[in-house]
Chain A
């Protein structure tokens, strides 16, 4: 009697678990994009009680690796997929816009760099702040590691695909970059706009081609340095049509006008701000 009851309970539990499994969407990847995607997931689950969305971290490349191999349904990433991953048939959705700005130690005495000056500062042609109208102070270039998404954006947008100078300081996280720039005289770096806004007391923003980075400047098309936050899916590995439906519904919700209003609070811009602009990355 007891055994039969136990068996029934286990069977019922398995069925429930299987049913729940069919509706679970797994999201992995960028820790930077995590919070905003989590917020979207909460809203979406409230509106669609049958769907479970599990968001976890791991880093942009983990997200891309996992979505390519079918380890998760959606991979979120700050960087574009590698050519190999593209070949596997994964599909890109640009979900948010991320503006970037040049920052420097407050004492350098420079408020603006032209695009040519900025390029030469980072390639190492310009070595002293005096050469761009500042103090007689050696330039200390603080950048992110080679595998970082921010560095990829910087290389493309600021250095126009040239190599960085060999004389650089590298810090692993944006937090460490900000601390280093704040405490090192002559330091210059390149970070997401929100980090400048959070640390205005310690570091100074530098305008690019005479335009200071701001949400409005990006929106109006005057400020050209930004990248996209990406969500990738692998249609071939989604399998169950129910999961596929949930994934598509969730991505449509993230891209909806309703949700895109929320991303401003998280330091991003809605994608439709720049839809009219040519996509440069």
Chain B
């Protein structure tokens, strides 16, 4: 029996290359009608179909991504050109990208508050999450005892899978009232600070997982060599391990950033969604504007999209500008992904 199996296995590639199956000289004469022969033909057929299926799937994915870009661009750019199907007026680029005044029902469409909001909240989140995540990864990869390492890795994988709306509900019902009551004399706590903390909690697991891989993939000779030369644990980590792993650490951070900038639900529940936040900040006469900004209800590209897009009329200026914001978000994410690939390639060099 093992013999038959063996011939059937070897026969496939041999016959596959050499033209006609039936009179392949290398095939044993009995194989012409044997199960092995039929098997091989079936396998070739399956191969061909599988090839086709894989090709279709990958083309579908590429087409889908292209299609989404085309759709976003056609609807979003309609905000700036008098396109077919527009019921509103065409806007100039400057009154959209350089204005902080967003009140669509009064025909004013400045999206600066959302761009600044998105960049601000993701930047703050990364500022919290990147050091925390990297140091946690150092601990997991280089210091923790094996049982703890296993436990931490599993916990991190679990955290990556928690849906963002859960973080949002937690933020809305627990964190906001707590912060407001403890530190703000019962003033509302919605704003950048709490949103950034929630986002940071969401992206830390991603950063930790990828950074742990980065540290674990470093040859142990680096660590050992540094310590043999007399450096302390801390010096070995700071001067040798982290620089050596830097490209992959940056990749981890950028991937975390990508997740943060696209997040809508969790942020939307805690940030306060006030599109007039820049104007509000300008009016205020506080002595500590930065601290105040942390707790001013603000808005981001994603939160505005998720709130308004389903409720605006197709083809209206308002709707078109929202699509333009979607396009901007798409391009931002694209840039981040390209940056990730660049940084990732850097590690081989």
Residues on A close to B: CB < 8 A?
A: 58-62, 64-65, 82, 84-85, 137-138, 140, 145-148, 163, 166-172, 176, 179-180, 183-187
Whether the pair B308, A146 counts as a contact (CB closer than 8 A) is yes
B220 at the interface (CB under 8 A from A): no
Q: List 12 A-B contacts (CB under 8 A).
A: A65-B313, A84-B313, A145-B308, A148-B311, A163-B106, A166-B283, A169-B272, A170-B272, A170-B299, A172-B273, A179-B173, A184-B176
Bound-complex Cα distance A172 to B273 (A): 9
What are the 8 A-B residue pairs with the smallest beta carbon separation, nearest first?
A147-B311, A170-B273, A166-B276, A185-B186, A145-B307, A183-B177, A59-B310, A166-B280
Q: Which residues of the other chain, B, contact A137 by a CB distance below 8 angstroms? A: 186
A35, B313: Cα distance in complex, Å: 23
Interface size class of B (residues with CB under 8 A): 35 or more
Task: Give the contacting residue for B105; candidates A146, A167, A184; CB below 8 A.
Answer: A146
Alpha-carbon separation in the docked complex, A166 to B87 (Å): 28
Q: Is the CB of B312 within 8 A of A61?
A: yes
CA distance A62 to B314 in the complex (A): 8
Task: State whether B274 touches A168 (Cβ < 8 A).
Answer: yes
CB atoms of B280 and A82 under 8 A apart: no
Chain B proximity of A82: nearest CB distance (Å): 6
A125 to B313, CA, bound (A): 32
Complex-state Cα separation, A146 to B274, whole angstroms: 10
Contact of A169 among B173, B297, B306, B311 (CB under 8 A): B297
Q: In this complex, which of B104, B275, B313 has the most chain A Cβ atoms within 10 angstroms of its Cβ?
A: B313
Which of A163, A170, A180, A186 lies in contact with B274, CB distance below 8 A? Answer: A170
CB within 8 Å for A172 and B173 given contacts A137-B186, A184-B188: no
A168 contacts which chain B residues (CB < 8 A)?
274, 276, 297
Most buried by B among A60, A64, A140, A187: A140
The residues of A that contact B106 with a CB separation of less than 8 Å are 163
B87 contact set on A, CB distance < 8 A = 82, 84
Query: Contact: B268 with A172, CB < 8 Å?
Result: yes
Q: Does B180 have its Cβ within 8 Å of any Cβ on chain A?
A: yes
Residue numbers in A under 8 Å from B268 (CB-CB): 172
**Bound Cα distance A140, B187 (Å):** 8
Tell whether A169 pairs with B104 under 8 Å between CB atoms, given A58-B310, A64-B313, A183-B177. Answer: no
Identify which of residues 316-333 in chain B touch chain A, using a CB-to-CB cut-off of 8 Å. 316, 318
| B96 adjacent to chain A (CB < 8 Å) | no
Task: Contact check, B186 vs A171: say whether CB atoms are below 8 A apart.
Answer: no
Query: Are the C-beta atoms of A186 and B172 separated by less than 8 Å?
Result: no
Known contacts A166-B279, A169-B297; A59/B311 CB under 8 A: yes
Contact A82 B173 (CB under 8 A): no
Report how far A170 CA is from B104 CA in the complex, Å.
15
Q: Which residue of B lies closest to A187 (CB)?
A: B188
A148–B273 CA distance with the chains assembled, in angstroms: 14
Q: Is B313 a contact of A145 with CB atoms below 8 Å?
A: no
Please state if B311 and A145 are interface contacts (CB–CB under 8 Å).
yes
Which of chain A's residues have a CB closer than 8 A to the CB of B176? 183-184
B103 in the interface, Cβ–Cβ < 8 Å?
Answer: yes
- Chain A hits for B312, CB < 8 A: 61, 147
* Cα distance, A183 to B181, chains bound together (Å): 10
- Contacting A at CB under 8 A, from B75-98, are 87
- When C-beta atoms are compared, the residue in chain B nearest to A155 turns out to be B105
Specify which chain B residues have a CB less than 8 angstroms from the CB of A187 in the assembled complex.
188
Contacts of A176 in B (CB 8 A): 172, 269
